[in-house]
Chains A and B, each alone.
Chain A
């Protein structure tokens, strides 16, 4: 019944604190405070059953038989160790298993990203030096920076003047509206203009 008795925190809190991400520091602090409360509560109470000076009572009290009875009962007293009724420990174990699975997936994802970054560094290192870079090479390496016959562009061929650019598209629509307005005015006022 009496499982492992604990008196103080056995967790390596320093190593734990180092591993906490900066955005979770506050939660960590609260968690640690809670643990401190539990440790203090344990520390404030005696670890073993305190001794009672029965000899003193025997000398003072008239009936020593009663004191003997008390002493016998007190020394034979066995306090039951409390059980984890709500089975919280099992819940924690379950949670840990789930977290382990999640962590494994997360680490795999991170490792994949690291591999990608490493491949990218390798690719960047493979770029030719600038004095060897010809226009042809440039067109291969940075195709979005050279004219593409499949994707003709509007004059003056800079990105902000293309219709794919929402900022410019807005102007274009305004221009169309203006054009329509012009047509409308012309249809109304044409006879005077002529």
Chain B
């Protein structure tokens, strides 16, 4: 049927990427509780999203890459808090692979189907991840022992220098803590009960007893998600980043799904420093919010807290009036479109691509009652389906069962076993949700999606300019005295309260001294 376009080396690598994803996803699934909700039919919308991912991601990734490579997207992702970091880019292959596995169990596809799609999706993901993680030189947080250190020194120095001290009971501590609580809660609601609006990166060592975690709160304002139309009209910023210094606790786990664990457990009294930023692909890095003075920062946290509280109430009332199909659509879109910011960064975003249910996936909606969805999701996540059982001498990485979460591609396709290449182009989509307003909140104001795409295509972040793009921390180590290194650092420092014009020669101790001055 197909002339063999796929090589043995490609298959070996693809199967390795699939297996690594399966090992980690199994562990992440079984160490969390099943997320139930009396408001949203969570397992049902998750299952629908997996089919949407299976049928659309290959075409959408190819469309994105026709404008910008996965490697460049990964490079850009390091300097903004959009949904192209974790958990977005960690989850996306899982959604695709879960869709494939589920369809296989229903007999709808074979492990030998859409093989070129599968090889491409995993390769796209790998190239993105390697670029995004280039500073810690891993492909995932899992590979790094559940640690995430994607940010370069020049950016960390800015966070460190400009952060304001706080302690339990003072006004800044209360304001920052109240914002993070309200934004977390709002994030769960925006994301239909999932935690995919939240991301944590780190830890980074500020001193021997203090660690930095960078927390992103994403998709907060009127933008891609149709249900935020009007409800989130008063939310100023779509993506907000809080830098958070914690003393007397060690963050021993920052996983690929954006969560952290620490010992002893992180509690509010351990929060000793905060900073506040917004960003997107038009902002050229992180823009300080209210960081001119301590008083301004307190006021900014309070203002943003009120904005998300008001939006929470409006959004909850809107959702409480929805039909089940609308809830299913919103949840499925939230999951499926977890990586839609790739399209924004590349300047090829189209709401038809990302906020509609592909009609091939839509066919399966009648299966998705609460009980079936709960049970089949549980089986998929723990390897309980027939396709997930492998030969009986085998032992999986976690749990020792003869189970594999995601089926590998049979190598026999290289020696004549028939296979199919692709699931085909994007099919039309449907939605039960109201028509999306053509309003997108960016760091350059509210605009139409045409305008947003145009500006995205024109936008080249300073750090991606040809003279800077490949200047990594390893190069800076030996060239901090050079004009080029100073130019790189002073560019980053332009918006910094304490570092403006200081250049590339500062050490962490110098930053600590500057903070005391």
Q: Are both chains from one complex?
A: no
Q: Which residues of B contact A (CB under 8 A)?
A: none
